[in-house]
Structure formats: C-alpha cells, structure tokens
Amino acid sequence: MKNEKKLSWEGYAAQAHRELVETKNSREIGKFRAIASEFLQQDWINENTGLDLRRRSELPEGHALLEDHNESGWDMICLLTSLRVQSKYRGGNTIHLEQTRRNSNKNHGKASTSGHVVYSDDEFDVLVVTRPSEIVMEFREDELIVLPVEVLKDPNNPGYLYRNVPKKIWSAWQKKDPASVLNDLCRTER
C-alpha cells in the first residue's frame, strides 16, 4: 500500500542543514550552502546597495546574456549597471576559484594546466564570497568579502585569475564594507 502522505524536500533540507551546523561538518556544509549563498547574497546586496541583481534563471527567456553556452563565470548581473557578479561560499582556509567545465572550450590550454579550469579575467566583474568564521545558523554581514576582478588577476598566468586567491589579498578586502565596495565598483563601471 502506497503512503498517501506527500513528502517535501524543503523540510528535509532544513533538517539536514541543522544537523550539519550542530555537528560542525565544515566539508559538507560548504557544498550544501553553495547555492543558498547565491540567493542570500542577492537579497543582501539588493537590500543594502543601489544594485538590482538578477540570477540567470530570473532573466527573461531569449535574453542575450542567456546565449552563453559555456555559462561564463557570472552568477548574477545588475540590471541597472550590467555589473557581473560571481558568487562563492568558502568555509575553509582558502578562497579557491578552480572549477570543472568538462564540455567547454575552456578545458584546453593555459586555462586548465592543473586539470581544473580557472576563470578568464573577463568572465565577471566582481567576486562576492560568503566566508563564515564559524558554523552557525545565522548569517552575518562580516562574512561577505567583495573582490574586484582586478585584484584577482594572476600575474603568472596572463588573461586568467588566481586558482587560489592569496590570503594577503582576500584578508585585506575582508576588512572593507561590502556594500561600499559594490557601490564604488558601480560608480566606476558607469
């Protein structure tokens, strides 16, 4: 006999998240929060800056920016300024930017010398990282780091970004107000 009760992933996702926080499972919580972090960043940025960020799925069908089959590195774009934002959640000691794009032209040459693909320096304008200092249920504004793409360029691999952002770079930007950095970037983009 079939169980007629409808089950919802939403409740189970919340239950799994609570368990990961309670057990301080840093490896798995990063994977779990990666997508949620993008939604959180979007809401926080839209509420605390003059930006109007939209995720790819929120762009109207047929929008020119959706024609990118390699899905370049931006996750959100500002409808007012065209500022392209890449979103990451990083709970460890590093901010790594390597990824895998197996079906892409990016998987060839200097972009993938380590077996992973590194971002080109023209795929997004700013990196927003959620980097919590401890695993807790609540989000805190001081967990956000906003890094302009200019500071992420790897001088040893021209045309590409660092595979791992040097700590001296991200720790300097961690001290800056994320809303102010984003608003300043928009002023220079206009």
Retrieve residue 189's tokens: 């983009």
- Rounded Cα distance, 139 and 97, in Å: 22
What mean pLDDT is reported for the chain?
86
- pLDDT of 72 reads 64
Retrieve residue 129's tokens: 């990282």
Pairing verdict, β 84-89 and 126-130: parallel
Segment 86-99 shows an average pLDDT of 88
pTM given for the model: 0.85
CA distances 148 to 32, 83, 117, Å, are 26, 11, 20
For residue range 146-174, what is the model confidence (pLDDT) as tens digits?
999 999 999 999 999 999 999 999 999 99
**Domains contained in the chain, CATH given:** 36-189 (3.40.1350.10)
For residue range 9-28, what is the model confidence (pLDDT) as tens digits?
999 999 999 999 999 998 89
Exposure b/e, 73-83, CB count within 10 A at least 16 = b:
bbbbbbeebeb
- Rounded Cα distance, 141 and 146, in Å: 11
Helix spans in the chain (H): 9-22, 26-48, 167-174, 178-189
Q: Which of 57-71, 72-86, 115-129 has the lowest mean pLDDT?
A: 57-71
